[in-house]
Amino acid sequence: MKFNEAAKIIKDMEKSAKAISEMVDVMGVMAINHYKKSFTDGGFTDETLQLWKHRKREDRGRYAKNAGSRAVLVKTGKLKRSLVAKKFGRYAVRITSNVNYANVHNEGLRAGRGKGFKMPKRQFVGYSGMLSAKIELRLRNKIQRIFK
């Protein structure tokens, strides 16, 4: 192997490592945007959009008749705004929320005092095939540009 070829390979490897490191931040932004879109869509998108269960009040028509009714899980916007991306290792991102009721809504757990009641699952964060495909495509395109 010639010196110029080896130098080019090393340079390409350094560019690839830098691109992957930069993509970790991009993955976080893409994930946050995807998950925040759940609040706008009124459901979670894995492969397809899975709409959240309506509030009981909506089933009785209280909100259905009002043009100004609010979306499910959007009263103050605190939960949506609380989503942040944190690096998890070198090549991963973890989406977190500091809102104590986030898991109750996302997983459909018990809420309220005492025995409380079972909150319907209204997932807004989790594995998404669509998000994974978007990230994979973006990473693949970035790496391909390096080797052109």
Domain boundaries, the chain: 3-146
pLDDT for 67-103, tens place per residue?
Answer: 445 677 777 889 999 999 999 888 889 999 999 999 9
pLDDT tens for each residue of the chain, 148 residues long: 677 888 888 888 888 788 788 889 999 999 999 999 999 899 999 999 999 888 776 554 544 444 445 677 777 889 999 999 999 888 889 999 999 999 999 999 998 888 888 899 999 999 999 999 999 999 888 878 877 7
Measured between alpha carbons, how far is 121 from 106 in angstroms, rounded to an integer? 6
**19 burial type by CB count under 10 A (0-12 exposed, 13-18 middle, 19+ buried):** middle
Return all residues near 103 (Cβ < 8 A) that are at least 6 apart: 109
The pTM of this model reads 0.80
